[in-house]
Amino acid sequence: MSKRKLLVPGSRDALNEMKARISGTGNPSEAKFEAAREVGVPLQKGYNGHLSSAENGKVGGQLGGRMVQELIKMAKEKMDRS
């Protein structure tokens, strides 16, 4: 679980749920492994010091990018309803 402080208190569960949904898994902790498989990065549970920063960036970028796209889509839909 991330120790980063979220701007909106209590939003971590919703973000984890979105992460799981976007990755196609039912478990947010499996999301990064699914994203890694999709981009061909050999991410394993436990220590991954053998991975380059580029490989790690592919995984984080893949997942984070999709989450940002989903948040933008949700904001647009909300604006259209207003």
| Inter-helix orientation angle 12-23/31-39, to 10° | 40
DSSP state of 4: P
| pLDDT recorded at residue 10 | 86
Domain that includes residue 40, residue range: 12-81
Q: Given pLDDT bands bounded at 50, 70 and 90, which one contains residue 1?
A: low
Q: State pTM to two decimals.
A: 0.74
What is the rounded average pLDDT of the residues 43-61? Answer: 94
In a domain, 19, yes or no: yes
| pLDDT recorded at residue 82 | 80
Query: What is the longest distance spanned by two Cα atoms in the chain?
Result: 49
Q: Given pLDDT bands bounded at 50, 70 and 90, which one contains residue 77?
A: very high
Q: In the chain, where do the E strands start and end?
A: none
Q: How many domains does the chain have?
A: 1
Whether residue 11 is predicted with pLDDT greater than 70 in this model: the reply is yes
Task: Tell me which H or E stretch contains 33.
Answer: helix 31-39
In a domain, 16, yes or no: yes
What is the rounded average pLDDT of the residues 51-58? Answer: 95
